[in-house]
Chain A
């Protein structure tokens, strides 16, 4: 019974998350960027932009420059979560990949980095007056869900274990549309998976969209070539001819 409910929930959540994020990405990709609004100092070549985005995604460069505390907690949380998520591949691959086995022991510890980062970020929203004032309920919801997921997962790693053999068989089954396996009905596992489902469903309508969004931020992804290359939007092409001295055509 519980297994069936969770199977339906996971299929639904996966569909909503993939379709929702896909639609958002499509929207981002087709939104016109009529002006070059890149934040300077910015690279003047495409290769430079790729390098800038690399630093942004790997090191959170602009956050580091703006606030060291948020950077510290955010960095701990994001890298902790990445390693922990990669560790979860052992539940979704029949023969676990070798590199998942290598990072597995690190991932078990990285849960604490993830929790420390989340609690730091949450403390900022609660104890810092200015930030508390601008915090929306959804900001707290995201943190509560992530703390709940990380906390329940850490509980299962360190305190009350669950039958991971059956958990793995259940999820391998789900991925093959085979619902014959039963999920162990442990309360902590139920809570863990339930919160994951909620997070997956609200992902495409939440601030978590910064994951694909960072790659579509015109203030970061554009080349600083406003002088070299003239940007003419579609509607502007139909305007009356320009005064003398301004080139009418796009260059380069």
Chain B
């Protein structure tokens, strides 16, 4: 009996004191555009696979006419910062970071990609190369000679 009591006390200690219910979910900011037709549930679970798939289409096959790109993601999911400019991924309130910080999932998208939309005074980090499949082929032929 004494053992049982000690065990129960140990269990209580392990579980920690009850805390108020609020604040267990991350504070996900609402997006600016129309909701995804597939639903939020679908996108929450599948966005990594979709992004990887489109990345492979673009990078490996040179197909640039894809449904979604990270550019459109950050445009619609932009969060306004205190200076009325969209937040970059450096801020914990950035749309991607709210959940990714919460679940400790590290992403490397923004090591190359811009994490906020290009608008007004925020020029793209890199100028567009204007690549088309034809120009890519021409380029590949040039370097293969």
Contact = CB atoms under 8 A, between A and B. Distances in A.
Interface in B1-53: 3-4, 6-8, 10-11, 14-16, 18-19, 21, 23-26, 41, 44-46, 48-49
Q: Which of B3, B8, B21, B104 has the most CB of A within 10 A?
A: B104
A168 B102 contact: yes
B3 to A, nearest CB: 5
Given A161-B45, A180-B21, A22 B6 contact: yes
Contact of B14 (A18, A96, A177, A181): A18
B144 interface: no
Given A18-B11, A19-B4, A19-B8, A165 B25 contact: yes
Interface stretch (A62-70, A99-107, A120-128, A226-234): A99-107
Give the interface SS of chain A, mostly helix, strand, loop or mixed.
helix
Contacts of A175: 15-16
Contacts of A101: 104, 106
A101 B105 CA distance: 8
A90 interface: yes
B104 A100 contact: yes
B103 interface: yes
A168 to B, nearest CB: 6
Contact size range, A:
20 to 34
Nearest to A105: B106
A241 B90 CA distance: 81
Interface string B34-74: 00000001001110110000000000000000000000000
Contacts of A139: none
A176 interface: yes
Interface string A169-202: 1001101111011000000000000000000000
Nearest to A167: B103
B76 interface: no
A36 interface: no
Given A22-B6, A178-B24, A161 B104 contact: no
Contacts, number: 74
B21 A165 contact: no
B103 A164 contact: yes
Contacts of A104: 104-106
Contacts of A19: 3-4, 7-8, 11
B24 A18 contact: no
B103 A168 contact: yes
B85 interface: no
Nearest to B40: A163
Contact of A23 (B7, B24, B106): B7
A22 B3 contact: yes
Contact of A161 (B18, B49, B102, B106): B49
Contacts of A94: 23-24
Contacts of B104: 90, 96, 100-101, 104
Q: Which of B4, B6, B19, B99 has the most CB of A within 10 A?
A: B19
B8 to A, nearest CB: 7
Contacts of B21: 173, 176, 178, 180
Given A100-B104, A101-B106, 4 more contacts: A19-B3, A19-B8, A163-B45, A176-B19
23 contacts: A14-B11, A15-B8, A18-B7, A18-B10, A19-B8, A22-B10, A26-B3, A90-B103, A94-B23, A96-B104, A101-B106, A105-B106, A161-B48, A164-B103, A165-B102, A165-B103, A168-B102, A172-B24, A173-B24, A175-B16, A176-B24, A178-B18, A181-B25
Q: What are the 5 A-B residue pairs with the smallest beta carbon separation, nearest first?
A: A22-B7, A19-B7, A96-B104, A178-B21, A90-B104
